[in-house]
């Protein structure tokens, strides 16, 4: 594998590990505003303020009509999540809504331990700095641009690597990225130690 591809592969593996969690959990599920259990609620860092039902648009009220009778009894954080989610849902194209339904269906089909692992990844992603999040997103999008067979090969390489090899891959990717950003020539590619 040449140096350029190895660098891209290693950087993308890190991005894919966090990015797959991000991509599967970043969209609202088909019940507008119903957060994925365990996912952070927007604005949850400070006490949530109640959202009056009357402040919702007619389209939001129609979309959230099943909550209308109990709206005032919902916790403010839940009201905010539903209001935010309904705004996002209404702004989606039909294709985006179909994709969100598919992701939610996939999420619900996962075993509890896998959902918990994804929640952990999502929380780690949320704890990253804005620059680190941008890097993860960039790497994920670069990974998505690769041909399917190349993505599969990289996934298998990552899955088959030991924790030590994975750490080496991540460190190598960081070094390569730093060199790229500083304009330095990349170091020769080195295979992971087996």
- Per-residue pLDDT tens digits for 72-93: 999 999 999 999 999 999 999 9
Reduced 3-state DSSP string for 78-132: HHHHHHHHHHHHHHCCHHHHHHHHHHHHHHHHCCHHHHHHHHHHHHHHHCCCHHH
For residue 60, the surrounding DSSP H or E stretch is helix 58-63
What string of pLDDT tens digits covers the 194 residues of the chain? 444 434 334 343 434 443 443 333 333 334 444 444 444 444 445 578 999 999 999 999 999 999 999 999 999 999 999 999 999 999 999 999 999 999 989 989 999 999 999 999 989 988 999 998 998 898 889 888 999 999 999 889 989 999 999 888 888 888 887 887 787 555 555 555 54
The whole-angstrom separation of Cα 26 and Cα 62 is: 24
Per-residue confidence (pLDDT) for residue 190, from 0 to 100: 52
Per-residue confidence (pLDDT) for residue 109, from 0 to 100: 94
Cα-based angle 124, 129, 133 (whole degrees, multiple of 5) = 70
Query: What is the tens place of the pLDDT at every residue in 11-26?
Result: 434 344 434 433 333 3
Per-residue confidence (pLDDT) for residue 4, from 0 to 100: 40
């Amino acid at each position: 594998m040449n140096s350029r591809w190895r660098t891209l592969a290693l950087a993308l593996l890190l991005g894919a590990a966090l990015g797959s969690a991000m991509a599967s959990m970043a969209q609202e599920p088909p019940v507008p505003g119903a957060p994925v259990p365990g996912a952070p609620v927007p604005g949850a860092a400070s006490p949530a303020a109640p959202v009056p039902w009357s402040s919702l648009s007619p389209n939001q009220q129609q979309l959230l009509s099943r909550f209308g009778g109990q709206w005032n009894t919902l916790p403010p954080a839940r009201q905010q999540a539903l209001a935010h989610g309904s705004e996002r849902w209404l702004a989606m194209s039909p294709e985006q809504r179909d994709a969100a339904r598919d992701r939610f269906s996939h999420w619900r089909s996962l075993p509890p331990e896998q959902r918990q692992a994804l929640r952990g990844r999502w929380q780690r992603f949320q704890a990253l700095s804005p620059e680190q999040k941008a890097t993860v997103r960039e790497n994920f999008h670069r990974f998505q641009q690769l041909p399917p067979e190349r993505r599969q090969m990289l996934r298998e390489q990552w899955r088959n690597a030991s924790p030590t090899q994975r750490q080496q891959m991540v460190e190598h990717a960081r070094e390569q990225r730093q060199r790229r950003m500083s304009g330095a020539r990349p170091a020769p590619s080195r295979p992971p130690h087996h």
